[in-house]
Amino acid sequence: RKEVEQDPGPFNVPEGATVAFNCTYSNSASQSFFWYRQDCRKEPKLLMSVYSSGNEDGRFTAQLNRASQYISLLIRDSKLSDSATYLCVVNMNTGGFKTIFGAGTRLFVKA
Amino acid sequence: DAGITQSPRHKVTETGTPVTLRCHQTENHRYMYWYRQDPGHGLRLIHYSYGVKDTDKGEVSDGYSVSRSKTEDFLLTLESATSSQTSVYFCATSETGLGEKLFFGSGTQLSVL
């Protein structure tokens, strides 16, 4: 089992739709969590950190569920420009620094 | 965006040759990283640095070495390139802590023939 797992998708949604992605992690020692977006053939860019209390940035909401060991990303009112691959990242301290990227979830937003 | 420059952007080399990739940052970030990205895999950490001359191995460090002689430069060397090292390599930096809020360079596409 992978330490961080994401549904690869693709998710195909119309403009204006709400879409949610989950990312599960297996190590309970995981300490910090992030969502990045990556456009085709580009570098990843930080979208948002994920906090236990949940956090929101405009149309994006991130949640952490430590009991069930997953993080989620909700995108409301999807735009064409949201089309990208969304990567979840989990940092762990298991006697040393360890960071695991999920393989990503592809999102296509269509007009 | 953080000023992170990777060079070269593309490289084709032959099996068995040494290759050095360079990462240069202008943000004075303490932490620097080298990742590789392959289809079907998430980005995988090769090596990282937590200060000048302070480096450590990531999960896929075999066949790679790094050096950081200045805050702004982090070099990745493939000692003897193999076809399995064909990949896209990303350098990243962070300011506040290991793995926290990474800023990435544009990547280097390396092909080992």
Q: For the residues of A37-49, what is the DSSP string, one character each?
A: EE-TTS-EEEEEE
Which residue of B43, B50, B56, B108 is the best one to mutate when testing the A interface, meaning the one whose CB has the most A CBs within 10 A? B43
d(Cα B16, Cα B113) in Å, to the nearest integer? 10
A44 in reach of chain B (CB within 8 A): yes
**pLDDT by residue (tens digit) across B90-112?**
999 999 888 889 999 999 999 99
d(Cα B106, Cα B113) in Å, to the nearest integer? 23
d(Cα B51, Cα B84) in Å, to the nearest integer? 29
In degrees, to the nearest 5, what angle opens at C-alpha B3 toward C-alphas A108 and B66? 95
pLDDT at B103: 95
The verdict on a CB contact (< 8 Å) between A97 and B56 is: yes
pLDDT at B44: 95
Lowest mean pLDDT among A76-80, A96-100, B19-23: A96-100
Two structure tokens written together for B51: 């200060």
Q: Nearest-CA distance from A97 to chain B in Å?
A: 7
Closest by Cα among A71, A74, A56, A59 to A26: A71
Looking at chain B, the number of H-run helices and the number of E-run strands are 0, 11
Two structure tokens written together for B32: 């620097």
Question: How sure is the predictor about B1, in pLDDT bands with cuts at 50, 70 and 90?
Answer: low
pLDDT at B2: 61
A50 in reach of chain B (CB within 8 A): no
pLDDT at A98: 84
User: What share of chain B has pLDDT > 90, as a percent?
Assistant: 88
CB A68 within 8 Å of CB A93: no
CB B89 within 8 Å of CB B34: yes
- Helix, strand, coil percent values for chain A (each to nearest 5): 5, 60, 40
